[in-house]
């Protein structure tokens, strides 16, 4: 899948020479909402995952990397929101956008075949690794970037320290068999927490940690599968011992689950994880609670959410990148 194929068509539509626009009305960019580091970082992840990027996709990776280096301050924190007029509207911080920036930078440093992108991404990653976030998910996203770096640079003490601090921030799962999770509520990008623990267990050769992460992911996958179909926890979340809503299901949940299951497949060699990746792929193709496709074949965009009335037809950056990411795994299968 190069940038000259439909897989990246809508991502190209959402991007300009500054970065990646956050929102769209249907497939039309909403420039008034500007750009955010969160989504630019996600874009860098999928761009750098491509083994044979075309010219336009390489240009996207360059643009996204430049955006992130501009967003970072001297302390290693990142600004998040940039207006269409190129004005930052928030101070630097270490929220989710810091974590995702670290994930994108770690992926670029580990996977791109272009030396200057790899070197600049690693330099920016190392500066960002001076920071820590009080938010477990921000730490989890940063931990995924650290794991990418460690797979190609095993002696990176900076990445190893960040990864283990991410594990500590996520916390220890409950011993309850009905809720083997570190927090009493599932919110968003839930599978990323399990993926970090799996990656840390593998990379540190800690069998107990690996087993813990796989147990978390098995449970999360099982409770989000009904009658063979994937039905992810909706945007409202789900608290232990409370009723669970059916909608609004978000593509980010599907993509996070596909990422984590693909990592589990690589680590264990167990085909059951490949089958769980396929469920995420099938969700976008219509094997979901509403039995509707969650992608627009005319534009290449991903729909923003699955509601009880069908898909939310807006095709923003987050949902489109979730689609691309999941289909990257599909191609590898």
Structure tokens at 34: 């500007």
Q: Any alpha helices (H) in the chain, and if so which ranges? A: 9-14, 37-49, 55-71, 96-111, 115-128, 136-152, 157-170, 190-203, 207-223, 251-268, 271-285, 317-332
Q: What is the pLDDT of residue 43?
A: 98
Find out whether 198 and 207 touch, Cβ atoms under 8 Å. no
- Whole-model pTM: value is 0.96
CB 321 within 8 A of CB 46: yes
The predicted-structure confidence for 14-37, as pLDDT tens digits, reads as follows 999 999 999 999 999 999 999 999
- pLDDT tens per residue, range 301-327: 999 999 999 999 999 999 999 999 999
Task: Please tell me whether residue 299 adopts helix, strand or coil conformation.
Answer: coil
Structure tokens belonging to residue 182? 């570190």
Structure letter (DSSP) for residue 7: G
pLDDT tens digit sequence for 232-247 = 999 999 999 899 999 9
> Across the chain, what does the average pLDDT equal?
95
Q: What is the mean pLDDT of residues 273-292?
A: 97
Distant-in-sequence, close-in-space partners of 249: CB < 8 Å, separation ≥ 6:
231, 232, 233, 234, 235, 288, 289, 305, 306
Peptide bond before 138: cis, by omega within 30 degrees of 0? Answer: no
């Amino acid at each position: 899948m190069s940038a000259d194929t439909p897989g990246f068509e809508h991502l190209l539509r959402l991007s300009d020479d500054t970065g990646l626009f956050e929102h769209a009305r249907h497939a039309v960019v909403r420039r008034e909402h500007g750009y955010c580091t969160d989504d630019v970082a996600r874009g860098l992840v999928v761009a750098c995952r491509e083994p044979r990027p075309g010219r336009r996709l390489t240009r996207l990776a360059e643009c996204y990397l430049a955006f992130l280096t501009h967003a970072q301050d001297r302390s290693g924190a990142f600004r998040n929101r940039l207006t269409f007029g190129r004005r930052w509207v928030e101070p630097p911080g270490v929220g989710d956008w810091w974590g995702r920036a670290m994930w994108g930078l770690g992926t670029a440093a580990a996977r791109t075949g272009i030396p200057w992108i790899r070197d600049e991404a690693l330099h920016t990653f190392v500066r960002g690794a001076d920071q820590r976030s009080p938010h477990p998910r921000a730490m989890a996203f940063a931990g995924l970037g650290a794991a990418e770096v460690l797979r190609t640079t095993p002696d990176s003490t900076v990445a190893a320290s960040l990864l283990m601090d991410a594990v500590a921030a996520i916390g220890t799962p409950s011993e309850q068999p009905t809720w083997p999770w570190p927090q009493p509520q599932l919110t968003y990008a839930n599978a990323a927490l399990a993926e970090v623990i799996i990656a840390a267990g593998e990379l540190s050769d800690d069998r107990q940690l690996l087993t813990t992460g796989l147990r978390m992911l098995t449970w999360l996958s099982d409770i989000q599968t009904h009658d063979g179909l994937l039905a992810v926890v909706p945007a409202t979340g789900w608290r232990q011992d409370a009723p669970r809503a059916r909608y609004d299901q978000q593509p980010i949940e599907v993509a996070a689950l596909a990422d984590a299951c693909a990592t589990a497949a690589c680590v264990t060699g167990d085909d059951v994880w490949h089958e769980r990746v396929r469920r995420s792929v099938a969700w976008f193709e219509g094997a979901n609670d509403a039995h509707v496709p969650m992608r627009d074949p005319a534009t290449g965009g991903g729909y923003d959410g699955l509601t009880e009335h069908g898909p939310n037809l807006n095709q923003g950056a987050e949902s489109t990148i979730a689609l691309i990411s999941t289909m990257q795994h599909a191609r590898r299968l």
